[in-house]
Amino acid sequence: MSSKTLITGAFGKVGTALAGLPGEKVLMDTKAPAGVPGAIQGRVQDTAVLHQAMEGCQAIVHLAASPAVDSSWEQVQEDNIAAMHILLEAAREHGVERIVFASTNHTVGMVELENVPRIYEGGHGIMLTKDAEPRPDSYYGVSKLLGENLGRYYAEHGGPRFYALRIGSLHPVGHDHPYAEAEGWLRAGACERGDDTYELKVKRQKALWLSHRDALQLVTRCLEYDGPAFDIFYGVSNNTARWLDIDYARQQLGYQPQDNGAEWLTVPESVLA
């Protein structure tokens, strides 16, 4: 395990799920709260702040991005693509050993869109490996693919090792379960509990969900990984109806997911309270 790790976007959904990451951490975010040890406020594009945050770090977990799937081209060009190039240049200058990058299932998202709703059911026969043809469903997906390829270029030309995690669906602290998205739609008045829209959201999440403890395990194992300089892993839990392969992560990383969306049969009592 690297002794000091910079986490960009540290106070977002994924970053807060990684609170238990071992070792010394520098927590960089545009909304870094005051008084938190190791927290630095700033954007990746703020190069002076970035270099300050990166000082003495052996690893980076790069989460900062424009996260919305419907982000405009201008948003992803600035926050996802240009920022990645800035980060990689700084990492090479500082001698950072490895980067773990929060990529996304939306790099292959067209497969899902073409197979709704059967892809959310068990027995659909679809399983995408890391070598599946890239089929982004949005500018966001495109930007993450470009991030992966930039990372590969640097990893294969003397830069830090680079490991992309194509994350499925991870929810905020307090909502770490596959009913979270459907309940969010319910609160927004977009569906009723148990109607077709609600049930479709639940089925999708039971296939795509990545629990917090499985996310923490994956990132930790990527920070310890001694495999090729560049690699790609899918970030989902051991979901029965998943269409994203985790066998490769099992083999290469020793990933042992603890959770399965199919085991959640009802809305958590904490939601109903």
* pLDDT tens digits along 196-206: 999 999 999 99
Mean pLDDT of 223-252: 97
Please, which residues have CB within 8 angstroms of residue 31's CB and are 6 or more apart in sequence? 11, 41
- Assign residue 158 a region: left if phi > 0, alpha if psi is -120 to 50, beta otherwise? left
Measure Cα distances from 76 to 32, 91, 207, 262 in Å.
Answer: 21, 21, 27, 33
Mean pLDDT of 251-264: 98
Tokens of 219: 């990132």
* pLDDT tens digits along 55-67: 999 999 999 999 9
The CATH classification number of 4-174+210-257 equals 3.40.50.720
Mean pLDDT of the chain: 96
pLDDT at 269: 83
CB atoms within 10 A of CB 232: 21
Round to whole Å and give the CA distance between 192 and 76.
33
Round to whole Å and give the CA distance between 36 and 45.
22
Residue 2 pLDDT greater than 90, yes or no: no
Show me where the domains of the chain are located. 4-174+210-257
Round to whole Å and give the CA distance between 27 and 9.
8
Check if 140 is active-site.
yes
Which of 120, 139, 140, 154 is labelled catalytic? 140
pLDDT-derived band at 271, boundaries 50, 70, 90: confident
* pLDDT tens digits along 120-132: 987 899 999 999 9
Q: Which residues pair with 98 in a beta bridge?
A: 59, 161
> Residue 44 class from Cβ within 10 Å (0-12 exposed, 13-18 middle, 19+ buried)?
buried
Where b means 16+ CB within 10 Å and e means fewer, 171-202 reads: beeebbbbbbbbbebbeeeebeeeeeebeebb
The position carrying tokens 């992966």 is: 148
Round to whole Å and give the CA distance between 156 and 146.
15
